[in-house]
Amino acid sequence: MATVGSGILEGKKILVAGVLTEASIAFSAARIAQEQGATVVLSNFGRALSLCQRIAKRLPQEAAVVELDVTDAEHLSTLADRLREHVDGLDGVVHSIGFAPQEAMGDGFPEVAWEHAATAFQVSSWSLASLTHACRPLFGSSASVVGLTFDATVAWPVYGWMGAAKAALESTSRYLARELGPDGVRVNLVAAGPLRTMAMKSIPGSAQFEEAWESRAPLGWSVTDTEPSGRAIAALLSDWFPATTGEIVHVDGGFHAVGV
């Protein structure tokens, strides 16, 4: 294992948005980023903010925490200035933000009210663009933005409007990659397999995802191991992918590549 202060992210400053628990992919990404030499700032909001502050102390080095609700225009407009209290710029952003009301999940997809679907799109899709825009004043000649998705090329059982929001997230990442590429900003996503994070636990009937991966992933799959996804995020944040943008890197044991 790399020691803190050395590695592929040496000297970089990274915002990891959406850290909630040690079981989250975002926590794994933050830990590995520190182990690879980065300075990390975390964010969350509301009741989750105190959880994030406690989690920040469990990293190899305690990380600064800023409050960020991506549905709050003031939070977004002041984010760059508040981040400057901790770092003098940003080299990377990890978007680990997603939410859909329970009313937007499960069966009954065409019956869901717009207000519930709209929340899923605003928090889970549009926020990739708004967060990136809020951080742009801190970017230098190059930067890397990495988001998290769950393969949206197919319709999953019980995923409901979150699946549609993830499809929008994937499209959003491509449009950001197209527009921000000339400014040296790379935008990519990691499509992880099912993991027992708070996000997955909130999906009714999510156990069937675990069963499918256990039987079909060529490399096998552990629903409790966030390390592979965290490593993929760290790699995309690094300078080792200088010509890669608009891409979705699957970290799912190969599940996406096989049939029944």
Rg of the chain, C-alpha, whole Å: 17
Is 96 within any annotated ligand binding site? no
- The CA distance from 208 to 186, in Å, is 34
List 13, 159, 175, 201, catalytic entry: 159
Is 175 tagged catalytic?
Answer: no
Bridge partners, residue 44, by sequence: 67
Is 159 tagged catalytic?
Answer: yes
Structure tokens that stand for 124 in this block: 């889970």
Is 8 within any annotated ligand binding site? no
Is 166 within any annotated ligand binding site? yes
Is 57 within any annotated ligand binding site? no
Place of tokens 């190969």: 254
Which of 76, 71, 95 lies closest to 187 in space, CA to CA? 95
Is 13 within any annotated ligand binding site? no
Greatest pairwise CA separation for the chain in angstroms = 52
List 57, 166, 175, 201, catalytic entry: 166
Is 233 within any annotated ligand binding site? no
- The CA distance from 91 to 211, in Å, is 38
Phi, psi (deg, nearest 5) at residue 228? -60, -40
Angle between helices 114-121 and 160-180 (to 10 degrees): 40
Is 151 within any annotated ligand binding site? no
- In this structure, what DSSP letter does residue 3 have? P
Is 69 within any annotated ligand binding site? yes
Show which residues are catalytic.
Answer: 159, 166
For the annotated binding site, the residues are 18, 24-25, 69-70, 97, 100, 166
For the annotated binding site for substrate, the residues are 100
For the annotated binding site for NAD(+), the residues are 18, 24-25, 69-70, 97, 166
